[in-house]
Each structure stands twice: as C-alpha cells, then as structure tokens.
C-alpha cells in the first residue's frame, strides 16, 4: 500500500468517526440554533463508558448502544438546565461540559484507561478469521462507513417525522411551535438528547479505534464539530450542488447530513495535510481558525451578491 493511500485511509477513518459527532453538532448548531458546548464532555463520556464496559466484559457492539443512551441522558440534562432552570444556552453547555470532566474521570477511575488487550468492534476473533488478510487493513474503514451511513439515514429519517419537523421549527421559528400547541422546551430537550447521543456514540467508537480512553481527547471536540458543519454546509449550500446538465439530468443535490459527513472528512484531511506539510501542532488551531474564517467569509460574500442581485 502506498503512503498516499494509507494517508487517505487514515483521514477517512478519523473523518468518519468525527462525522458521527459532527452530525450531533449539526442538530444543535444548525437545526436548533443552540451553541452546545457540552459535546466537549459527552465525546469523552462515550469513550470512558466504553472503556470501562469493555474491561468489565460487555460486548463491544453493545457498548455502542449504551454510550448512545448515556450521551442522550447527558444531552437531556443540558436541555433541562437550559429549559427548566432558565440558564442561557451557551452557559448550560459550559456547565455540563465542566461537570462531565469530573464525571468522566470518576467513571473511568483515572485519566487514561487502555483497552489494547481487549476485543473491540474493530479487533476481534471474528474479523481475524472471516476477513481475508489482504482486506484486513480496510475492515475498519468499511465498518466505520457502515455505521456512519446508518446513523446518517436514521437522522434523515427522524428529521422527516413529526417530532423531527418540530425540531426544525424550533430553530427556524419558535412561534410556529407554540402556535401548534407544542412545548418548545421539550422539543429542545429532545434535540439536545439526540445530538449528544450521536456525540457519545462517536466517542465510544473513537475509544475502540484508538485503543484507550484519555481525558484530553475531549478538549476541542466542539471546534472540530463546528468546523465540519460549517465546511460541509457552506460547501454544498447551493441547491442543486451541480446544476442539471448533459451528464447529470437532474443535477446533484447534497443533503445537509451528507454535507456534514463530507465536511468532517475534509476537515481531517486539512489537519493531516497541515501536519504532513510540517506544520507544528501548536499552529494547528490557528490554521483551523483561518479555515473557519475563509469559509465563512466566502459564503457570506455569496449571500451578499445574491441580495444585490435581487
């Protein structure tokens, strides 16, 4: 395998894990218009829960579901703090994130919990025997792709239900929700629960992929999530993305969830390229910030042009 292929493989793997997390951030940031910082805590929460459960002998696949549920509980708490205790959105996320830092350390018992010697969803006897040796480097990617696609389809499906419709309405027009005689608070809580469930699931997968839980992996999750969402959604803003032409009869439209997945992969690709190009890790955050800015400015510019044309 050439170096380029394995770099791409690595980027796709990392990107897909973070794509699941980014879909969660998409729900809060784009749909609910709620800047939810609790993800910095729920991502390692998923990792911590998974590491502890796997060591206790729980089936690695089952830990995915448990992490999902526990993430949902954490998200629900953020929602309750915001809705019932009337704490501002940004602050309720910060409160939850801070609380989860200690909680994660309590759950794992320590800051770093290895599961190298345990079976995971990626590394187990089943794959070793069933998958031919040549294909083994690709099992992780295929598995991640399957999980990411399932989660994306589930989210797409959910957004089409009545509850999903209300979720979108809360972000766009709260009055409408009230007019429909629905409690917008409950809708927000549900949205936060789903979002953080996605994030914790990503954390669970991340721990199984890297082979250990480490408290410091949570820091900056929200930045990666926001970057993925912003890159993805701005990139594919135009509908259809490719206009109808001879090649594509109907043109190509990209769903927002797909855009977010691609955004996450692109973000990871940028980081990988930055590191490969000899950029210091200490400069990476600056690169991220610049990338953010460029994409936001470019997409704003387009909006202005459209308005001027009206």
Partner 1 sequence: MKKVLSVLLVAVLAVSLMAGCGTKGDSVTIGIGQFAEHGSLDNCREGFLAGLAEKGYVEGKNLKVDFENAQADGAIASQIANNFVANKVDLICGIATPMAQSAFGAAQDKDIPVIFTAVTDPVAAELANADRTPVGNITGTSDKLPVEMQLEMIRKVLPDAKTIGIMYSTSEVNSVSAIEEYKAVAGDYGFEIVESGISTTADIPLAADNLLGKVDCINNLTDNTVVSSLPVILEKAAAKNIPVFGSEIEQVKIGCLAAVGLDYYDLGKQTGLMAAQVLSGEKKASEINFEVIDEAAFYGNSAVASNLGITLPEDLVSSAKEMFDTISE
CB of 119 to partner 1, least distance (A): 13
Per CB under 8 A, does 149 bind partner 1?
no
- d(C-alpha 141, C-alpha 132), whole Å: 15
- d(C-alpha 1, C-alpha 135), whole Å: 11
Segment near partner 1 (CB under 8 A), from 68-76, 104-112, 180-188, 251-259? 104-112
Nearest to 47 by CA among 225, 208, 282, 204: 204
Q: With contact defined as beta carbons under 8 Å apart, do 276 and 266 qualify? A: no
Per CB under 8 A, does 220 bind partner 1?
yes
Which residues, listed in sequence order, are joined to residue 30 by a DSSP beta bridge?
none
Tokens read off for 85: 């205790």
**Phi, then psi, of 59 in degrees rounded to 5:** -60, 130
Per CB under 8 A, does 224 bind partner 1?
yes
Per CB under 8 A, does 222 bind partner 1?
no
> What 8-state DSSP symbol labels residue 252?
B
Per CB under 8 A, does 3 bind partner 1?
yes
Segment near partner 1 (CB under 8 A), from 78-86, 151-159, 190-198, 280-288? 280-288
Mark 240-269 with x for binding to partner 1 (rule: CB under 8 A) and - for no binding.
Answer: ----------------------------xx
Helix (H, G, I), strand (E, B) or coil at 152: helix
Would you tell me which residues interact with partner 1 (CB under 8 A)?
2-4, 6-10, 13-14, 101-102, 105, 110-112, 114-117, 123, 136, 209-212, 214-221, 224, 235, 268-273, 275-277, 280-282, 284, 298-299, 302
């Amino acid at each position: 395998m050439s170096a380029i292929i394995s770099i791409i493989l690595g980027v796709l793997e990392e990107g897909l894990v973070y794509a699941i997390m980014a879909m969660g951030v998409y729900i809060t940031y784009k749909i609910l218009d709620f800047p939810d910082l609790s993800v910095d805590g729920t991502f390692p929460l998923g990792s911590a829960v998974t590491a502890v459960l796997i060591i206790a002998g729980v089936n690695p696949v089952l830990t995915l579901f448990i992490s999902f549920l526990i993430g949902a509980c954490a998200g629900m708490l953020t929602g309750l703090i915001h809705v019932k205790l009337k704490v501002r959105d940004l602050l309720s996320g910060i409160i939850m994130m801070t609380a989860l830092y200690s909680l994660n350390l309590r759950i794992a018992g320590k800051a770093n919990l290895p599961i190298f010697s345990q079976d995971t969803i990626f590394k187990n006897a089943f794959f070793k025997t069933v998958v031919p040796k040549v294909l083994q480097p690709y099992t992780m990617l295929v598995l991640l792709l399957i999980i990411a696609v399932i989660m994306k389809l589930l989210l797409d499906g959910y957004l089409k239900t009545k509850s999903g419709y209300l979720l979108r309405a809360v972000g766009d027009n709260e009055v409408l929700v009230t007019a429909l005689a629905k409690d917008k608070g409950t809708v927000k809580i549900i949205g936060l629960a789903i979002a953080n469930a996605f994030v914790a699931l990503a954390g669970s997968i991340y721990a199984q992929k890297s082979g250990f839980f480490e408290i410091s992996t949570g820091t900056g999750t929200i930045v990666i999530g926001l970057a993925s969402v912003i890159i993805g959604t701005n990139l594919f803003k135009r509908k259809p993305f490719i206009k109808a032409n001879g090649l594509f009869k109907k043109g190509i439209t990209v769903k927002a969830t797909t855009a977010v997945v691609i955004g996450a992969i692109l973000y990871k690709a940028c980081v990988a390229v930055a590191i490969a190009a000899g950029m210091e890790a200490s400069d990476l955050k600056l690169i991220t910030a610049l990338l953010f800015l460029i994409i936001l400015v470019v997409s704003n510019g387009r909006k202005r042009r459209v308005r001027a044309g009206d």
